[in-house]
Amino acid sequence: MSPPRIQADDNLKSMFVGTVMRKIKSRTWKKQRYFRLQEDCMTIWYKSKKAGNAHSTFSVGDVEAVREGHQSEVLLSIADEFPPDRCFTLVFRGRRGNLDLVAESAGEAQSWIKGIRKLIDNLENMGQREKLDQWICDWFKRADKNRDGQMNFKEVRDLLKMMNVDMNEHHALRLFTMADKSQSGTLEDDEFVLFYKMLTQREDVLRVFQEYSGDGQKLTLQDLKDFLREEQLHEDGVQQYALKLIERYEPSDTAKMLQAMTFDGFLMYLSSSEGSISNPTMVDLYQDMTRPLCHYFISSSHNTYLLEDQIRGHSSVEGYIRALKRGCRCVEVDCWDGPNGEPIVYHGHTFTSKIFFKDVVTVLGNYAFKASQYPVILSIENHCSVEQQKVMAQHLTQILGDKLLKSPLDGKIPIGLPSPEDLKGKILLKGKKIGGLENSMNGVVDDPLMGEVSDEEETKSKQHLSKELSDCVVYCKSVHFSSFKHSQIHSKFYEISSFTESKARKHIREAGAEFVLHNARQLSRVYPSGLRTDSSNFNPQDMWNTGCQIVALNFQTAGVEMDLNDGLFSQNGHCGYVLKPTFMRNTDERFDPENPQNRDGYKPLSLSVQVISGQQLPKVNIKEGSIIDPLVRVEIHGVPLDQAKQETRYIDNNGFNPVWYDTLQFTIHVPELALVRFVVEDYDKTSKNDFVGQFTLPFTCIQPGYRHIHLLSKDGTSIPPSSLFVHVRITKLT
């Protein structure tokens, strides 16, 4: 069974033949491996030169990027041994470690670098249908145990188990016989595709199609317009939109000529991004980016250098690369005096490993603006001597050059924070500063050895500061927080306070509305409690409810908290900035997240989600023959009054095409702050349910009607073609 075609060039041809390269894990671990691209153009196979038959494989689909040269810590550590033109790094999606390789020659390295990049591009440009064909093709190869390109009934039965399908023998045999057109007792290429299509017949979508189709065979232009108006709630330009959908998703040229849509086209549309639950216009950049910085939620990472826990974890520049590529716009460094006058970064007083400050700054310069053009805030926790602070300032200035913001934008004393638009391409330092912004612009300098100190730094109240480092701080001066009253009278717009999660919660409980107002005027940062040595996270939603902009999470730790962070920042072009609702930006409005009914313009909404079906849910248990019992939970995360969750019943032994038709109802009091999380779990009556997949999005980005939800893994990476099919209705509560 052949996969979708790709033009084989010289690079791919040499990858098919295979190459011996060194796999590098450290300065001392360098072993030769034989690498080869499989015929499917999707799988890379490799084995040790010595070992018997043991081999490993990985999919090109799991590779996020290829880095050339010494662009990982491991390869930098052996830079003196192998030239950069022979070295490259494969970076995997999610939290899987990199693969560092050294080829025998620069030419061989280039073949693999260019070849893999071509394969990644090809994958990214595939349509839904090709992806599905690719997926079917992968399964076929996995199940065709004797590699004869045919599948007998036993192989098909084993395949169904692998695919999470518990089908009785009789039904499976009936489908097998119907698909075996050549009556050979085995399924070849096209017969297997037919078998798969019969197996995945979408009765649920067919039901909707037939409800709107006049003749049960096709949707006329009028039928499609009726469907778009009545179900998908499209109002403007419906005719144009319907024609665009036919043009884009209808596979039959005859139907296109008739301006009609067949069932295949209808299913293609519903499986596409336009049929997805996320509104595509809000996935792109759509917000006003010219408001002051404090008017945005900012995607923020805590102790960015850690890849694991806070006590013995590995410190790495890789943490910065991963966070920045995920659109994170505020990263953190803990700086301490290092050897030979070079400042180092690590979690102080613990056994975490150490990296050089200058290496972090270099990575920041290289990766800050790859995912987003909007500003990056470098939050410095400074434990260095004045001498090494000077070195830090030197590295920042020399390595970052013009990217580092060192003075107010127009050279005048500013009266408010600039906007993300004003600060595009700039890196802002957040740290202690000698005196105020006004003083430094007037040439007046306070005592150069004294600086305010934040809670998480030294316990001594004053710390010696170097003027050079202080001068690098412009719009984000770290100050100690005393009270909202004090801030209202004395605070400057460029001052920022940091709160531990417990302090922030205390302020939310005691003075929620004051906190919201404080955050309309200036920036606040909230970070995890020092007790979270396992790098677990707190719920960021509580902090967003009061308008805290910089809610710093451990990006390396998967779970509901990072799902919420990914969900909030999945909108607005993944740029790392999301505009806060109007009532949290206006200083003359009063919003208390604990009592949202009291605000002006309070309009609660009702959300109804009918969970119809699931498609090809991944297996949780690798155990032979185990099949999941899926249930779907819909969770609302928002102000306390909106926090809610409801579940469907579970379906016995069917991860392949479970059907629920269960309706879940919610009331949403503050839609502008709510996030909706869809979770699939494998029900277990004796122990905790296993996680299967999830998808989180802002309530305001939901498209109503019949929609597919494309599920993500625990790591936030996509797991095609796993999805849920739902019907969504949002109505005003009168």
- Determine the distance from the C-alpha atom of residue 23 to the mean position of all C-alpha atoms in its chain, rounded to a whole number: 28
The residues with which 58 forms a beta bridge, in sequence order, are 44
Q: Which residues contact 510 (CB under 8 A, 6 or more apart)?
A: none
Q: Smallest Cα–Cα separation from 87: which of 29, 72, 17?
A: 72
Structure tokens at 681: 């779990």
Annotated active-site residue 383? The verdict is no
Task: Give the whole-angstrom CA distance, residue 287 versus residue 274.
Answer: 20
Q: Which residues are annotated as a binding site for Ca(2+)?
A: 303, 332, 334, 381, 627, 629, 653, 682-684
DSSP 295: G
Which whole-number Å values give the CA distances from 397 to 38, 335, 427, in the listed order? 48, 17, 11
In whole angstroms, how far apart are CA 70 and each of 75, 76, 84? 5, 5, 6
Q: Point out the catalytic residue in the list 55, 70, 170, 302.
A: 302
> Of 70, 347, 637, 708, which one is the catalytic site residue?
347
Helix runs in 401-474, H state only: 437-442, 467-471
Q: Could you tell me if 329 and 376 are in contact, meaning their C-beta atoms sit under 8 angstroms apart?
A: yes
CB 146 within 8 A of CB 83: no
**Residues 229/235/238/241 CA torsion (nearest 10 deg):** -100
Question: b/e per residue, 208-232, with b = 16+ CB within 10 A?
Answer: bbeebbeeeebbbeebbbbbbeebb
Q: Cis peptide before 339, with omega less than 30 degrees from 0?
A: no
Nearest to 475 by CA among 523, 411, 425, 547: 523
Binding residues: 23-50, 303, 332, 334, 381, 430, 432, 498, 525, 627, 629, 653, 682-684
Task: Say whether 302 is catalytic.
Answer: yes
Q: Residues 531, 303: contact at Cβ < 8 Å?
A: no
Q: Rg of the Cα trace of the chain?
A: 28
Q: Which residues are catalytic?
A: 302, 347
